[in-house]
Copies of this chain bind each other. A is one copy, B any other.
């Protein structure tokens, strides 16, 4: 049949979609897939620590033994039960009926926002936060109520109270209890208690993003806010940072009444989380190696974090400041005011083959964040790479000042 002639004109997009700006993530994923590049850029786990051989055996056994391994299926009850045990290790009591399986933490926040954010509604969040959460908000063009945050003391909870006392009624509050992305900071017990009290008092749910919380580098840890309230804290967890991101399995812990609604929104999004991925993670949890695996990650990441501190101390100019994270994958570094982080990044990637993320990209839209901060990931590179990468960054920085 003859092809109908086509015009080069483009069809109309929804208004918000016309304003979409490119994200750094896909480019960074490609750039950092180059083995020559030392990446401090993304929140990637150490690939050499993945339990690939166990997964190889588990996958092979599962696919041979389970006739429905490649079929559609309901969410895995085995996996939900394993997650309940995992949450208990974080000091959170919950039931399988409160667990909702997602494609990683990102989908968890996406589904929750779509359910919670009212038309013309507002969202309360820190003024420097994970860009992926900001991307979730973009289509809604919601009013953003920001509160100050910093790498030393974290979210300014008094500023949250000020918004609420002034009559603001956001649809939700977004917070990261442990291992803040990008600042690395964790909230104190007092901050958690105050924020949960405000949520209850003003009847506004908190989305608690705990993607990094299991990666803890100190003996004393504080339970997530979900331990303080079953009703007002919607908890987001993920296997991406503690097991294997390529499977895309995460979870929510939410009040049971929300589960059915989440199921519908999830179904409309992608039918369900890949059942093969669910089964693989469930099978791995049943080998009882997950706790040991997380302990090993924490041990090795502690060494990497401390190596990065030493390298910063040794190579970076004395006006540099950095902050010690007790959790997660990131160190926030404030460069001397004479250094432009974007100029540094450009030379770092092209000349030194080192990648990182300039801190101002995390500034919440509408506020052009003025910061000389940069976010450095310490989980994805080994000790030699960390030493080499920091030294190369310092050398490049000198050429910038000259």
Residue numbers of A with Cβ under 8 A of B are 1, 3-4, 6-15, 17, 20-23, 25-26, 29-30, 33, 42, 44-45, 47-48, 50, 52-53, 55-57, 59-60, 62-64, 67-74, 102-104, 106-107, 110, 114-119, 121, 132, 135-136, 138-139, 171, 189, 193, 196-197, 200, 203-205, 223, 227-232, 240, 243-248, 255, 257, 260-261, 263-265, 267-277, 279
Q: Are A193 and B4 in contact (CB under 8 A)?
A: yes
Q: Are B269 and A248 in contact (CB under 8 A)?
A: no
Q: Are A13 and B115 in contact (CB under 8 A)?
A: yes
Q: Are A271 and B132 in contact (CB under 8 A)?
A: yes
CB distance from A343 to the nearest CB of B (A): 25
Q: Are B17 and A70 in contact (CB under 8 A)?
A: no
User: How many angstroms from the CA of A274 to the CA of B270 in the assembled complex?
Assistant: 12
Could you list 24 A-B pairs, sorted by A, with CB under 8 Å?
A4-B196, A4-B200, A9-B203, A10-B255, A11-B205, A12-B116, A12-B171, A14-B114, A14-B121, A15-B119, A17-B115, A20-B265, A29-B72, A47-B67, A52-B69, A56-B59, A68-B246, A102-B270, A104-B271, A106-B271, A107-B269, A132-B271, A136-B268, A247-B274
Q: Are A26 and B263 in contact (CB under 8 A)?
A: yes
Closest 4 CB pairs of A and B: A56-B63, A135-B268, A70-B244, A59-B59
User: How many angstroms from the CA of A10 to the CA of B229 in the assembled complex?
Assistant: 12
CB distance from A168 to the nearest CB of B (A): 14
> Chain B contacts of A8 at CB under 8 A?
231
Contacts A6-B200, A10-B257, A14-B115; A55 near B70 (Cβ below 8 A): yes
Q: Are A246 and B197 in contact (CB under 8 A)?
A: no
Q: Are A103 and B261 in contact (CB under 8 A)?
A: no
> Chain B contacts of A119 at CB under 8 A?
14-15
User: How many angstroms from the CA of A189 to the CA of B135 in the assembled complex?
Assistant: 41
Q: Are A14 and B263 in contact (CB under 8 A)?
A: no
Contacts A11-B203, A59-B63, A116-B14; A270 near B71 (Cβ below 8 A): no
Q: Are A4 and B245 in contact (CB under 8 A)?
A: no
> Chain B contacts of A104 at CB under 8 A?
270-271
